[in-house]
Structure 1
Amino acid sequence: MVRVALLFIFLNIILIDVQAQYVFFPNSGTITYERKFHVQNYLKRNHLNKADLDTWDKMFVDEVVKNGPMEIGTKHSLTFYDGETLFETIKEDYPSNYRSALNYLPVLNDSKTYKNQKTNMFSRLIHFSGDEILLEDTIPVVKWRYTDEYRNIAGYDCRRANGVVQDSIYVVAFFTNQIAMSGGPELIQGLPGMILGLSIPGWNINMFATQVELNNKSISGQLTKSKKVQPKSKKETRELLRRSVYEWMEEDVFQKQWSKYLF
């Protein structure tokens, strides 16, 4: 009887081991995210309380606070395949009061971001004043600290990690190791799995996956069809934007604007 019991236990161990070998951890697919920006809280905290806010800025901010939405919701997609990701905005027809409020969004709204983990490089296509800039540089490093908080997002079990990017921007991420690839929206990554939830408390932004579709779509790193648009480093892009768009800004104010291009 003892031998039969031992044999039964042995066979179960083998069966569990065989099943473990065939657990499917996908490394390609498309994730749809919904990003919510609480515009009213952000403007009241970052603009209306500024003593040096000039008359024109105050007029525009007051208009958005008075007639703009409480919250802006936008949709985005992240395609991932064998160490590469492509993050982009899903184009929609927004209400008219969205458009003015989107100007105050502390991250880029209409851009494409390609990341290649094998080369540790990213490319980001930026639109401004009818022109295109192709920013290309190394992927920013996020300093992570794991927590014991867990949440289910889009059917995947996720663990919370707190991080700091650009030495000052605090982020909260929920990642799952059920998707084998280390990745995430925007330029955020560096955890042992895919980030399905992302929160930036200082910017009043939350982004959570609503759908995960597994597929074998390959990714192209070519973000623009224009041959005139050549890649520029962070330093070159910063100098170009400073000179052509934000020349009138004080340096500390410009630095805050610049941070959204590196997020």
Structure 2
Amino acid sequence: MRTILTLLTYCTILSTSVLAQKLEVTYQEVVKVNPDEFKSSINFSSNGKSSSIPKDVYDNMIKDMQEPKDFLLTVFDNETTYKKIEKIDNQQHSGGMRISISFGDSGSGLYKNLSSKEYYKSVKLMDKSYTIKDQLKDYKWQLSRETKKILGFDVRKATSIVDSTTTATAWYTPNIPVKDGPGMYDGLPGLILEVEIKNTKNKGIESNIMRAIEVKEMPNLKPLEKPKDKNIISDNEYKTLMEKQMERFKQMRSEGIDKKD
């Protein structure tokens, strides 16, 4: 009898989820690192000479990179936000060096309007805040018949070639008719509960996986707020600013070395 009641309760949750458009979904992001390959891709130098990384510092770098990170996707009808869940870190790190790599692509906050296909993303560059305002990417997903279960939901597989170096494998559930998912990934006929990203440019980074660990209905959820229209730029303009900043760093580094020589 208890088994039948449990099954009926679960079926009720699934049926109401079909209609639910007010949700909170917690994702956990895990980066898979090949330590040896990653170490060989790092090039540290001082005064023009290569220098090795102390083992304890390198070990902490790898540990920090592989530490799971949590993100929260909030859904209110056709609007969503995606933000990192900050955690208190009381650990000591040797050498004062810490690297945190994330493909969640949320910046300080990501807002999407799934109806207008627009997104706003808060970012920082050289201590200056910007708001990227642009159109959502069309991932041209290839749907598959392959299925599995995540958090009790039946999910289906879809793949996308994002660009010449990046591929994404997503698992989505038609039981939750929200065409969104973690980070910038969206556009499938159901909520994306897991996405694995592989990028051949990131040497030593085998893959990045964002997987849902909790789905909650939020009937009393308040309307979402998009980032403020301050220092609005497009995604291409932001990339141009990033490239210019990298060139400045290289120039400053080169000039510093020449002066010391």
Q: TM-score, normalised by structure 2?
A: 0.73
Which residue of the partner structure matches residue 65 of structure 1?
A: 58
Does 1:34 pair with 2:37?
A: no
Deviation at 1:54, TM superposition (A): 4.7
Does 1:147 pair with 2:144?
A: yes
Counterpart secondary structure, 2:185: coil
Counterpart secondary structure, 2:241: helix
Q: Unaligned stretches of 5+ in structure 1?
A: 1-21, 251-263
Does 1:178 pair with 2:175?
A: yes
Deviation at 1:246, TM superposition (A): 5.2
User: Which of residues 75, 78, 84 is equivalent to 2:79?
Assistant: 84
1:157–1:62 CA distance, 2 compared to 1 (3 A): same
Q: Unaligned stretches of 5+ in structure 2?
A: 1-13, 200-204, 252-261
CA distance in 1, matches of 2:60, 2:170: 32
Q: Deviations over 1:201-257 (max 9, x none)?
A: 334211111110111324434325xx7x3211122212222233553469xxxxxxx
One-letter amino acid of the structure 2 residue matched with residue 45 of structure 1? E
User: Which of residues 191, 197, 214 is equivalent to 1:200?
Assistant: 197
Matches within 5 A, 1:213-252: 213-216=216-219, 217-224=221-228, 229-245=230-246, 247-248=248-249
One-letter amino acid of the structure 2 residue matched with residue 235 of structure 1? N
Asked if the contact 2:106–2:121 (Cα under 8 Å) also holds between the matched residues in 1, the reply is: no
How many residues are aligned here? 222
One-letter amino acid of the structure 1 residue matched with residue 233 of structure 2? K
CA distance in 2, matches of 1:176, 1:187: 17
CA distance in 2, matches of 1:114, 1:220: 9
1:198–1:151 CA distance, 2 compared to 1 (3 A): same
Which residue of the partner structure matches residue 10 of structure 2?
A: none
Counterpart secondary structure, 2:214: strand
One-letter amino acid of the structure 2 residue matched with residue 101 of structure 1? I
CA distance in 1, matches of 2:92, 2:139: 36
1:85–1:167 CA distance, 2 compared to 1 (3 A): farther
Asked if the contact 1:140–1:165 (Cα under 8 Å) also holds between the matched residues in 2, the reply is: no
Counterpart secondary structure, 1:141: coil
One-letter amino acid of the structure 2 residue matched with residue 71 of structure 1? Q
Which residue of the partner structure matches residue 74 of structure 1?
A: 69
CA distance in 1, matches of 2:77, 2:23: 10
Counterpart secondary structure, 1:36: strand
Asked if the contact 2:84–2:106 (Cα under 8 Å) also holds between the matched residues in 1, the reply is: yes
CA RMSD of aligned residues (A): 3.1
One-letter amino acid of the structure 2 residue matched with residue 55 of structure 1? S
1:106–1:206 CA distance, 2 compared to 1 (3 A): closer
Which residue of the partner structure matches residue 55 of structure 1?
A: 45
CA distance in 1, matches of 2:105, 2:248: 19
Q: Deviations over 1:149-192 (max 9, x none)?
A: 22211221111111122453101111001101111111111110
Asked if the contact 2:78–2:113 (Cα under 8 Å) also holds between the matched residues in 1, the reply is: yes
Identity %: 20
Asked if the contact 1:115–1:121 (Cα under 8 Å) also holds between the matched residues in 2, the reply is: yes
Which residue of the partner structure matches residue 5 of structure 2?
A: none
Asked if the contact 1:197–1:207 (Cα under 8 Å) also holds between the matched residues in 2, the reply is: yes
Moved more, 61-70 or 192-201: 61-70
1:105–1:35 CA distance, 2 compared to 1 (3 A): closer
CA distance in 1, matches of 2:233, 2:218: 32
Q: Deviations over 1:84-104 (max 9, x none)?
A: 1100000112334497120x4
